[in-house]
Amino acid sequence: MANEPSKIAQEAQPQVSKKKDVLLSVRDIHKSFGTNHVLKGISLDLRPGEVLALIGGNGAGKSTLMKIVMGIYGPDSGEVYIDNEKVDVSNPKVALEHSIYMVPQEPMLFPNMTVRENVTIGFNARQADLDRELMEVMDQIGWHLDPDRKASTLSIAEQGMVEILRGMMRHSEVLILDEPTSALTFDEVNALFRVIEGLREKNIGIIYITHRLAEVFQIATSVSILRDGIVTMQGSTKDFTREDLVKGLLPPNAGSVKEAAAAQKREIDYTAKPVLELQNFSGYGFADVNLKVYPGEIVGLAGVIGAGRTEMATTIFGRDKVLGGKVLLDGKDITGLSTTAVIGEGVNYVPEDRFRDGLFRIRDVEENTTSALLAHGLGKFILGRKEAERVSQHYVDNFRTKVTGLTQEVGGLSGGNQQKIVIGRAFATNPRLVILDEPTRGIDAAARGDVYAVLQQLRETGVSILLISSDMEEVVELADRALTMFQGRINGEFVGDQITQDNLMSASFGVTGEARSA
């Protein structure tokens, strides 16, 4: 489109209609969590029979906005209108009473209850009537689930189908679908799209959250793009191209980062034997992945949530089952080894969620830094008290970690310093390769700069890094080579001047960019 995102955003700010032609309006919604200003004045309208595609990168504010609509969160300021009447959606019960239902991305079923019980729970009608309506809805959709099956026996796709059935059984006037096709087969996706078309004909309004731009043009009548808590573009789908949508997803200064990062790049010997090589590697959530990481190289792996990046990393690391292909480390087959064995071979992993998977928060700095050595036998019998202190102090000093001493409890450190401890622990095992999963998520700009400096320093020692990040700017700044993952497969490889936020964002959302075959 000829319009710039800012202009479109200004022109497209919706007004609350005086006629009853708007099912749902959110007006100037703000929401912060501590110092993190997540929503910065969001305004959207949803009309009868409209399918509004809501898209944005990870952390854009989509889920937070929908949780406010559902009454899970309260806004700091702003208003919610339902049928043009201002409503205080103070809890989910209020939203349900106003015929608003959200189908979550992660199914929330009672595992020991049947499909029938999960769908009809909370209804006051006779069970026979509910059973008859449930079968009619399933016949209409073309989905045939045994209503007597326990939820614990259902696949992820089938669990998602049950969540959608819940919404349809409640005759919702506003239906929010959060990544509804992420676990569905091709036939199931087509069946869902037919259902959505049928709901449109009944004047039901649908908010459709997706990372798949192709779906926007297949099913949506309108589109709104969120970036960093603001609406950058919105309007009728027919007025946009894929390139327009990608432009709305990118930050305004996207073109300026590449030059700043260029000076930090180094020459990589691509004739050397790869440190890590994946050959047709497959597991739960990804398939037929082929990639190589060379000595001293930082390979960025970009994509959106659900692309399969973390699943691939944890499978390499021995936490999940390999379904096919090989993992080679310096040419040695390490496919399917346990996590202990993988670390012993020279691979370590910094998880995405440092709070749940990365830290012993009630233990001190020294214990956290050396725990990988002890837990996996790498320091057994040789890591005495003085050596433990030496190793821990080395990483505290080199990473400029702000601590009062090695005996300080890690739970009392800032997020950035906690992250440095987690990274230090991974590198304390003297690995050949480290997989970093969202290494700067949730830490401030100063700490982020420190982490970047640490990674540049470590790669100079010959350590190779596979950097998984949803932050395109981070990948541009750090990566010698960048790959993108989409729907469980590598769909782009970028080198040199091709590593731009525009190219990475396009490929991460399934839009062909300037890439060479991966």
pTM: predicted TM-score of the whole model, two decimal places: 0.60
pLDDT at 5: 39
Q: Which domains does the chain have, with CATH numbers?
A: 5-57+70-249 (3.40.50.300), 251-346+432-444+461-518 (3.40.50.300), 354-430 (no CATH)
How does residue 4 score in pLDDT terms, banded at 50, 70 and 90? very low
Q: How far apart are CA 447 and CA 445, in angstroms?
A: 6
Residues 90, 59, 453, 373: what is their CA dihedral angle, to the nearest 10 degrees?
70
pLDDT at 246: 79
pLDDT at 355: 52
- CA-based torsion, 163, 164, 166, 172: positive or negative: positive
pLDDT at 378: 47
Q: Can you tell me whether residue 146 is helix, strand or coil?
A: coil
Residue 510 backbone zone (phi > 0: left; psi -120 to 50: alpha; other: beta): left
**Residue pLDDT, tens place only, 141-161:** 777 789 999 988 887 667 878
pLDDT at 14: 43
**Residue pLDDT, tens place only, 246-288:** 788 877 655 444 444 444 556 888 999 999 999 999 999 999 9
For the beta sheet containing 298-302, the strands, ordered from the edge strand earlier in sequence to the opposite edge, are 347-350, 433-437, 464-469, 298-302, 481-486, 489-495
Contact 84, 20 (CB under 8 A): yes
Q: How far apart are CA 204 and CA 283, in angstroms?
A: 38
Encoded tokens for 14:
């919706």
**Residue pLDDT, tens place only, 347-395:** 988 887 655 555 665 566 667 666 655 544 444 435 566 766 666 677 6
Higher-pLDDT residue of 195, 4 = 195
